[in-house]
Structure 1
Amino acid sequence: MSTFIHRFAPAWIITKREVRDQFRDWRIVIPIFVLTLIFPSIMNFTAERAVNFVGRFGADLVGERLIPFLLMVVGFFPISVSLVIALESFVGEKERKSIEPLLSSPLEDWHMYVGKLVAVMFPPLIASYLGIAVYLWGVYQKLGWTPEPILLTQILLLTFVQAIVMVAGAVVISTQATSVRAANLLASFVIIPMSFVIQGESLVMFWAAYGALWWVILAMGVLAVLLVRMGLAHFNREALLGRELDTLDMKAGWRFFRKGFVGEARSVGEWFRREIPRSLRRMRLPILMAALLLMGAIWIGLDQSRNFALPPEVIDLQNFELDAFSQVGTISLLAPEGVGIIWFHNLRASGLAFLLGIVSFGVFGVLVLMLPFVLIGYFMGTLAGAGIPPLTFLLGFILPHGIFEIPAILLVGAGILYMGGTMLTPSADKTIGD
């Protein structure tokens, strides 16, 4: 423990300097704390009026679910407002010409990065927790409502991990942007995904499935660790000083892509003989991980088939008429022309998984690919309970088109995992764009 504290001491020096400078600037302090005090008051007013309104129609449950939801929003709002501090942590000092003394110091790169990261987390966290306290005090005074200790703990932890995710993402943007204006424009890649997360959390809050919040906290914690790891992997003080202007060089991008795709092959035959086996060997670990994840998805589906079993009368083999097979051709997905529909659907799903994998280090992309296999496992378990062997289901419904598509999905999943791992791996000769 003492060794860790000794190693972190230089970063702590930067943290204290940054926090002191932030709280000296009234243009930072006043907006944060004014909004922190005003916004919870607005939420208190909203909660009181909403509870009284729905109570007139006997819908007290809606009001009860609204209060903890607003508690979560109150914790999130100051983080989004304070994000500008993290966005200008590096690029702002670069524009003000005040970063050269810091970069020329004997500190290691990770000292500077971690010190800045911890420093820019102070204002949003203080503002969030202060806002939560003001909101809880107001709700207690107006409505007499107090949260359960476990729910309050979940909200505090959720606010903490969301602050780390948003601040860590903003600091990564700050190290890669060439101007504060560019960093502010790129902030949408942090705010928009987090707004979707808040929408998902709101469903959990209104459904009162508070146990699911632990999974959300775990997922956000993993994402926070990945973002911090990514920032440390690609932070370089020389590149930060030397990068004045980024241009979109399509020719260079095409050359980089072609070199990675074609490799050293001079013909199509040589590409199949040399480059494909070489790529498969390089991706053998991601392929193994993707295969394990897809098999795990099938197992999840099998397990859920017992938890959400269909009624016996839905699958009644005793009264099943063979003439029903003649109607199969009328179903577009099962007709011969449905092959193109299935192929296009899987192609679209793979493209969506790839895009989601870019912004989530492969996590969300792999989850998209796992969903069909969860359904396969569910139907295997359901039909097995009705007396149909799982092998018959696989041979009749999955393998005819899956003999090519399953290996393709496996390779797409491996590619997504490989891409996510590459983004988290330090590389001296490659940027995040490469």
Structure 2
Amino acid sequence: MNRRAVAAIVRKDLTVVLRSKAILIPMIVVPLVMLLILPLTMAFIPNLAMAPGAPMSGMDEFMGQMPAALRQSLAGLDEAQMIIVLMLVHFMAPLYLILPLMVSSVVAADSFAGEKERKTLEALLYTPTTDRELYLGKLLSAWLPAMGVALGGFVVYTVVANAAAWPVMGRIFFPNAMWIALVVWVAPAVAALGLGATALISARVRGFQEAYQLGGIVVLPVVALVIAQATGVMYFNMGLVLLLGLVLWLIDGILLGVSLRIFRREKVIEQI
């Protein structure tokens, strides 16, 4: 494995990402909305929910529908604090996973299909690198920005969540162990899922838009997690996070293995 060749491919692709407004703007705007504006808005919900006559003022009935483990984790909190923890810790968990998934999908679509469309991939295909080195460089150029956004977004969200909820919580309550596991175990797997699926799709299509739109299908399972939690079907906890990460890594192994086997520069050259 020629690490210098892989690093050169990564640097080249990251330079393209930083110069592309179509890629860079969503990578900035979406995290700002989800990890800054949304938690600031959620921090005001307890004031509305606890108002006299508010439909959410009956927390006893709501708590009765929760799993016993979740009720136990909320023990000792008043109603306003319960709402803060439910919204900023549990409800936001699956939404956070959309970020690494989105970034890896967008960058991978541009790195594989976008370069075919712009015909800038041809010169790279004729370099003295193996298919494995070329493929690994392309994967890392999508995975690294996704993890950069995920980790940077987590730091921003930690500051915003604690600051916004301070009037209610009166202490630093975030992150908890579940979120640490989510960031270090699940987020990398979600990023790998996005780039693995997009790389597989990009081998069959010719343009960026087609690869990105088809690759967007992988966001549906994350959306399903958001809906399931919002409707009370399930709640994020440590066990679910660890299991989810394991399942995702197994799927990643299959997707990346298949896409590596079908990635042959001869076939790519034929599509240019």
Instruction: Name the TM-score, length of structure 2 as normaliser.
Output: 0.77
Residues 165-314 of structure 1: pairs in structure 2 closer than 5 A:
165-199=193-227, 207=235, 209-243=237-271
Query: Judging changes above 3 Å, is the alpha-carbon distance between structure 1 residues 203 and 224 closer, same or farther for their aligned structure 2 residues?
Result: farther
Q: Which residue in the other structure is 1:28 paired with?
A: 23
Cα distance in 2 between the residues matched to 1:242 and 1:208 = 46
Seen in structure 2, the aligned counterparts of structure 1 residues 241 and 121 have a Cα distance that, compared at 3 Å, is: same
SS of the aligned residue for 1:178 comes to coil
Partners of 1:114 and 1:31 in 2: CA distance: 24
| 1:262-298 deviations in Å (ceiling 9; x for gaps) | xxxxxxxxxxxxxxxxxxxxxxxxxxxxxxxxxxxxx
Is 1:39 matched with 2:61? no
Check whether the contact 1:151–1:210 (CA below 8 A) recurs between aligned residues.
yes
- Number of the residue aligned with 2:43: 48
TM-superposed CA distance for 1:192, in Å, is 2.3
Shift of 1:178: 2.2
Number of residue pairs matched?
239
From 163, 173, 186, the counterpart of 1:146: 173
**TM superposition shift of 1:64:** 2.1
| Contact map agreement 1:120 1:167 (CA 8 A) in 2 | yes
2:98–2:219 CA contact under 8 A, matched in 1: no
Partner of 1:92: 114
What is the RMSD computed on CA atoms of the aligned residues?
2.6
Q: State whether residues 112 and 202 of structure 2, in contact with CA within 8 Å, keep that contact through their aligned partners in structure 1.
A: yes
Q: Which amino acid aligns with 2:5?
A: P
Mapped contact 1:92–1:180 kept (Cα < 8 A): yes
Aligned-pair CA distance for 1:198: 4.6
Compute the TM-score of the two structures, normalised by the length of structure 1.
0.50
Larger radius of gyration: 1
Structure-2 residue corresponding to 1:155: 182
Q: Which of 11, 14, 19 does residue 9 from structure 2 map onto?
A: 14
1:239 CA displacement: 0.9
**In structure 2, which of residues 116, 135, 142 is the aligned counterpart of residue 113 of structure 1?**
135
1:72 paired residue among 93, 99, 103: 93
| Equivalent-residue separation in structure 1 for 2:41 and 2:252 (angstroms) | 32
C-alpha contact 1:37 1:134 (8 A) present in aligned 2: no
Structure 2: distance between partners of 1:77 and 1:212: 17
In the alignment, the residues of structure 2 paired with residue 217 and residue 205 of structure 1 have an alpha-carbon distance, to the nearest angstrom, of 19
Larger displacement relative to structure 2 (39-48 or 99-108): 39-48
Aligned-pair distance for 1:200?
Answer: 5.0
- Cα separation, partners in 2 of 1:84 and 1:193, compared to 1, 3 Å: same
AA aligned to 2:47 is N
Is the partner of 2:251 in helix, strand or coil?
Answer: helix
Query: Matches of 1:202 and 1:210 in 2, distance apart?
Result: 18
* Structure 2 unpaired stretches of 5+: 52-56, 60-78, 167-171
Structure 1: stretches of 5+ with no match in the other structure:
1-5, 245-434
